[in-house]
Amino acid sequence: MTTAAIIGSVSGLVMTVGGVWGGQRLVEQRGGGALWKGLAVLLIVGATVAGFLAPVPALPIVNESIRNLFFHVPMWFAMMMVLLVSVWYSIRYLREPSARLDVLAHESAKTGIVLGLLGLATGSLWARFTWGAWWTPDPRLNGAAVAMLIYGAYLVLRGSFQDEQQRARVSAIYNIFAFAAVIPLLFVLPRLSGPSLHPGQTGNPGFNQYDLDNTMRKVFYPAVIGWILFAFWVAQVSSRYVFLKLKHNEQ
| Closest to another protein by CB, 51 or 112 | 112
Give min distance, CB of 153 to another protein, in A. 5
Give min distance, CB of 165 to another protein, in A. 7
Give min distance, CB of 198 to another protein, in A. 16
Give min distance, CB of 130 to another protein, in A. 24
Backbone phi, psi, residue 29, to 5°: -50, 135
| Closest to another protein by CB, 13 or 180 | 180
| Closest to another protein by CB, 6 or 149 | 149
Query: Shortest CA distance to 110 belongs to which of 39, 187, 175?
Result: 175
Q: Give me the amino acid identity at 15.
A: M
- Burial label for 245, CB within 10 Å (0-12, 13-18, 19+), is exposed
Q: How far apart are CA 11 and CA 151, in angstroms?
A: 28
Give min distance, CB of 110 to another protein, in A. 17
Q: How far apart are CA 21 and CA 198, in angstroms?
A: 30
DSSP single-letter state for residue 207: G
Give min distance, CB of 93 to another protein, in A. 9
| Closest to another protein by CB, 117 or 170 | 170
Query: Shortest CA distance to 38 belongs to which of 29, 30, 49, 46?
Result: 46
Q: Which residues are CB-contacts of 248 (< 8 A; sequence separation ≥ 6)? A: none
| Closest to another protein by CB, 4 or 180 | 180
Reduced to 3 states (helix: H, G, I; strand: E, B; else coil), residue 138 is coil
Q: How far apart are CA 86 and CA 239, in angstroms?
A: 12
Q: Which residues are CB-contacts of 112 (< 8 A; sequence separation ≥ 6)? A: 79, 80, 82, 83, 86, 151, 231
| Closest to another protein by CB, 175 or 239 | 175
Site for another protein, rule CB under 8 A: 94, 139, 142-143, 146, 149-150, 152-153, 156-157, 160-161, 165-166, 169-170, 172-174, 176-178, 180-182, 184-186, 188-189, 192-193
Give min distance, CB of 96 to another protein, in A. 12
| Closest to another protein by CB, 57 or 152 | 152
Give the H/E segment covering residue 205: none
